[in-house]
Amino acid sequence: MTLLSVQDLHVTFGTADGAVRAVQGVSFDVAAGETVAIVGESGSGKSVTANSLLRLNFGADVRIDGRILLDGRDVLAMSEDEVRSVRGRDVAMIFQDPLTALNPFYTVGYQIAEAFAIHHPGTSKKELREIALDSLQKVGIPEPTKRIDQYPHEFSGGMRQRIVIAIALVNSPKLLIADEPTTALDVTVQAQILELIAQMQAEHGSAVILITHDLGVVAEITERVMVMYAGRVVESASVADAFSTPTHPYTRGLLKSVKSLDTERHERLESIPGIPPSLINLPSGCPFHPRCGFAETLAGRCEREVPELRLVGASRSACHLPEDRLLGLLGGLS
């Protein structure tokens, strides 16, 4: 059953230097209980896409077009009050940096209880405390009865991220958006947090959208992956397909630039040449063509036409290369 359906999403920020086209025509669906990863470099539009789902894009001059259907209701057409009732209750978020995501002036217990109380007015103080205690316990905070009255600065980064997760899950949301939840954490803590998210998801039955630039994280807990580049989805595939047979040169580049256990000891890692394009001044045609090793083989088509997503094998890819070449990408620059 489709929980979330994003259709032709465009997000543009007006700045003094010109319009920044952060997201251009992104469409995707998320089924109830499903885990989807959105992968891309900084500035690829993945966080902007995630924030749009709750209308959390701020700034003087933001334009959001398209449709974001949550259980059939268009988030973009909702009144401010309606969006607010969705935030935290139907859709919850986990932010990147747990060190700054918690309000330093209130105890963690208060902040968890508050998240519940907003959407359940009339809950007694005693019940709220029980709920907060229960949440702390579930996310694995030791000694919750003592820790509940402590302030965020008394916790480590990993513990704080657990509290952020507790806040996000206290209302059992249908959709959890995790925006780089492990980027700011120590490597040893990263795995614990991912495991916790997976475990909580299983318990609450929430769907998860995981935003990351870390392919290891993707492999760990998600089923489906969307690769974004310069505000567009360039590939959408199951995780297994994306890793074994990437169908877009950019995805291939991402995979090649990661070291894995299969990498030979003296093998050099490949990198993607160049830098991501400016979102104010996008290249013509395919936004990836200036950095793409295959663009020359198509006689200028990549500079003229923006490729649409199409079915390639079991995946969907936005590339002009013929299907047989896309399926053999990992083989090298043939």
Partner 1 sequence: MIYFVLRRSIFAVVLLLIVSAFTFWIFSALPSDPAALTCGKNCRPEVIEANRERLGYDKPLVEQYGAYMKGIFTGRTYGEEGSSIHCPAPSLGYSYDRHECVTSLIASTLPVTASIALGAFVLWMGIGVGLGTLAALKRGKWQDRVATAFSVIGVSLPTFFLGLIFIMVFVIWTGLLPFPRYTGITDNPVEWFMALLLPWFVLAIISAATYVRMTRNGILEVMNEEFVRLGIAKGLPRRRLIVRYVLRAALVPIVTIAGLDFAFLLGGALVTESIFNLPGLGKLTLAAVVNSDLPILVATTMVAAVFIVVANTVVDILYGYLDPRVRVK
Binding stretches for partner 1 (CB under 8 A)? 54, 56, 60, 84-89, 92-93, 95-97, 100-106, 114-115, 118-119, 151, 153, 164, 167
174 backbone φψ class: left, alpha, beta (φ>0; ψ -120 to 50): alpha
Nearer to partner 1, 114 or 303 (CB): 114
Cβ at position 176, least distance to partner 1 in Å: 11
How far apart, in whole angstroms, are the C-alpha atoms of residue 153 and residue 99?
A: 8
Q: Are 137 and 171 in contact (CB under 8 A)?
A: no
Q: Which residues neighbour 36 within 8 Å (Cβ) at sequence distance 6 or greater?
A: 28, 30, 207, 208, 209, 210, 222, 223, 224, 225, 226
Nearer to partner 1, 103 or 263 (CB): 103
Cβ at position 93, least distance to partner 1 in Å: 4
Cβ at position 238, least distance to partner 1 in Å: 29
Residue keyed to tokens 């290891």: 216
Q: How far is CA 170 from each of CA 17, 92, 180, rounded to the nearest angstrom?
A: 42, 9, 20
Other Cβ atoms closer than 10 A to 239: 19
Nearer to partner 1, 114 or 214 (CB): 114
Nearer to partner 1, 178 or 309 (CB): 178
The 3-state DSSP class for residue 5 equals strand
Residue of 161, 27, 7, 3 lying closest to 91 (CA atoms): 3
Cβ at position 180, least distance to partner 1 in Å: 12
Cβ at position 166, least distance to partner 1 in Å: 12
Cβ at position 20, least distance to partner 1 in Å: 17
The alpha carbon torsion through 244, 248, 253, 259 (nearest 10 deg) reads -20
Nearer to partner 1, 13 or 95 (CB): 95
How far apart, in whole angstroms, are the C-alpha atoms of residue 215 and residue 330?
A: 16
Nearer to partner 1, 180 or 241 (CB): 180
Nearer to partner 1, 89 or 316 (CB): 89
Cβ at position 84, least distance to partner 1 in Å: 5
